[in-house]
């Protein structure tokens, strides 16, 4: 019996040494250590042994079993290591392959242009104000010297949400709202960006668009200050070579009023398709604050003067990026947005 046990141990070890994968190892385990395995068979035969042989053989059988289990575990971990090594060798990573591209989002062109406008005026000492998009007739029209029967209302037809309540047609009401709060303090220098609404819809007009309003009030503000500030704005926005010109215009809330043109961003002023061969592009309306507007808002028009301007953010974005249809700015088509 002793010999049998040693033979089993030897055979099992030889087989284990030759095994190359887990399946083979498992087979060997079942064959020798399983419930019906060789070793178990021997142990079952122990009953036939004499009383003095039994403890010795029992001990030997136990140690053979423990020894084989150790050996098996060792073989298993070796095989596992080899399998892992083979797998790693087969799965070599080529670190020179290009990675999976992913694109970072960025701000919408309108947001970017608005922030650029804000930065320029912040640099000139202006601060930023906001106002409500649903505005009263008083702030949107009346206080801006546009009474109920004034023909200027026709140019700014909009959506009324009540008899005296409408979606604001421009950011100018923020002039009044701000002056009411600050009067009679000077200097006052603010810009007011935001959405505005009009009954418009074509390639260069949208029923919702963005404006940035500007207002400065102090004791000796002149038209020269207006021109100086807007010239700096034009140069920073469109390049140092940009020239400006002011054409007489009309707004009920400024007097005198003007439209400001910049030299064409495409041709530099020679005349091209973008500027309709004129060399100039209209970019904003402006003027000296009408004394009646100052008075309505609590500023003594004998003591104070001011200038104001209003520009369309879409128009500036279109000129800056050469966009010919305003609706592209609102379609949210990434094929367009990714180009800018």
Positions touching ligand PHE (CB under 6 A) are: 170, 172, 213, 251, 254, 285-287, 308-310
In the bound state with ligand PHE, the residue whose beta carbon lies nearer, of 31 and 227, is 227
Dist. CA 136–CA 149, nearest whole Å: 16
CB of 198 to ligand PHE, least distance (A): 9
Residue with smaller CB distance to ligand PHE, 233 or 309: 309
Cα angle at 220 between 214 and 225, to 5 degrees? Answer: 45
Which single residue brings its beta carbon nearest to ligand PHE? 310
Closer by beta carbon to ligand PHE, 72 or else 286: 286
Q: How far is the CB of 254 from ligand PHE (least distance, A)?
A: 5
- The contacts of residue 253 (CB under 8 Å, 6+ apart) are 144, 145, 146, 172, 175, 287, 289, 290, 293, 308
Closer of 131 and 310 to ligand PHE (Cβ): 310
Question: Burial of 1 by CB count in 10 Å (0-12 exposed, 13-18 middle, 19+ buried)?
Answer: middle
Would you say 25 or 188 has its CB closer to ligand PHE?
A: 188
Report residue 123: phi and psi, to 5°.
-65, -25
- Using omega within 30 degrees of 0 as the cis cutoff, is the peptide bond preceding 184 cis? yes
Residue 11 vs 133, nearer CB to ligand PHE: 133
Closer CB to ligand PHE, 21 or 160, in the complex? 160
Contact 21, 86 (CB under 8 A): no
57 SS3 class: helix
Sheet of strand 165-167: strand arrangement? 134-136, 165-167, 160-162
Closest approach of ligand PHE to the CB of residue 95, in Å: 58
Collect all residues with Cβ–Cβ distance below 8 Å to 144 and sequence separation of at least 6.
Answer: 172, 173, 175, 176, 252, 253, 293
> Between residues 194 and 279, which has the closer beta carbon with respect to ligand PHE?
194
CB 211, min distance to ligand PHE, A: 6
- DSSP label of 105: P
Least CB distance from residue 268 to ligand PHE, whole Å? Answer: 26
Angle at 254 between CA 142 and CA 169, to 5 degrees: 50
Write down the least CB distance from residue 308 to ligand PHE, Å: 4
Give the nearest distance from C-beta 219 to ligand PHE in angstroms: 20
Please give, one letter per residue, the 3-state secondary structure of 267-329: CCCCCCCCCCCCCEEEEEEEEEECHHHHHHCCCCCCCCEEEEEEEEHHHHHHHHHCCCCCCHH
Helices (H), 172-211: 173-182
Q: Least distance from C-beta 122 to ligand PHE, angstroms?
A: 19
Q: Are 122 and 116 in contact (CB under 8 A)?
A: no
As measured in angstroms, the least distance from the Cβ of 317 to ligand PHE is 17
Q: Closest CB to ligand PHE among 308 and 329? A: 308
């Amino acid at each position: 019996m002793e010999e049998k046990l040693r033979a089993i141990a030897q055979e099992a070890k030889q087989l284990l040494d030759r095994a190359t994968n887990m399946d083979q190892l498992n087979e060997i385990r079942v064959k020798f250590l399983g419930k019906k395995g060789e070793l178990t068979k021997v142990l079952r035969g122990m009953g036939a042994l004499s009383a003095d042989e039994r403890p010795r053989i029992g001990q030997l059988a136990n140690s053979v079993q423990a020894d084989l289990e150790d050996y098996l575990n060792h073989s298993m971990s070796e095989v596992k290591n080899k399998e892992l090594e083979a797998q790693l060798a087969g799965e070599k990573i080529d670190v020179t392959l290009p990675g999976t591209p992913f694109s970072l989002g960025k701000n919408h062109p309108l947001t970017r242009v608005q922030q650029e406008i804000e930065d320029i005026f912040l640099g000139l000492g202006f601060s930023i104000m906001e106002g409500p998009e649903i505005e009263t007739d008083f702030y949107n029209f009346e206080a801006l010297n546009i009474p109920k029967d004034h023909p200027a209302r026709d140019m700014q037809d909009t959506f009324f949400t009540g008899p005296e309540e409408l979606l604001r047609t421009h950011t100018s009401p923020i002039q009044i709202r701000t002056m009411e709060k600050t009067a009679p303090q000077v200097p006052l220098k603010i810009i007011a960006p935001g959405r505005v609404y009009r009954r418009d819809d074509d390639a260069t007009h949208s029923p919702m668009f963005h404006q940035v309003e500007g207002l400065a009030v102090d004791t000796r503000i002149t038209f020269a200050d207006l021109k100086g500030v807007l010239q700096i704005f034009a140069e920073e926005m469109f390049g140092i070579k940009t020239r400006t010109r002011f054409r007489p215009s009309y707004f009920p809330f400024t007097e005198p009023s003007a439209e400001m043109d910049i030299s064409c961003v495409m041709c530099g002023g020679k005349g091209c398709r973008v500027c309709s061969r004129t060399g100039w592009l209209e970019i904003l309306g402006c003027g000296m604050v009408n004394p009646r507007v100052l008075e309505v808002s609590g500023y003594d028009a004998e003591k104070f003067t001011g200038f104001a301007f209003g520009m369309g953010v879409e128009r500036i974005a279109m000129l800056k990026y050469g966009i010919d249809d305003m609706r592209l700015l609102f379609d949210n088509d990434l094929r367009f947005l990714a180009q800018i």
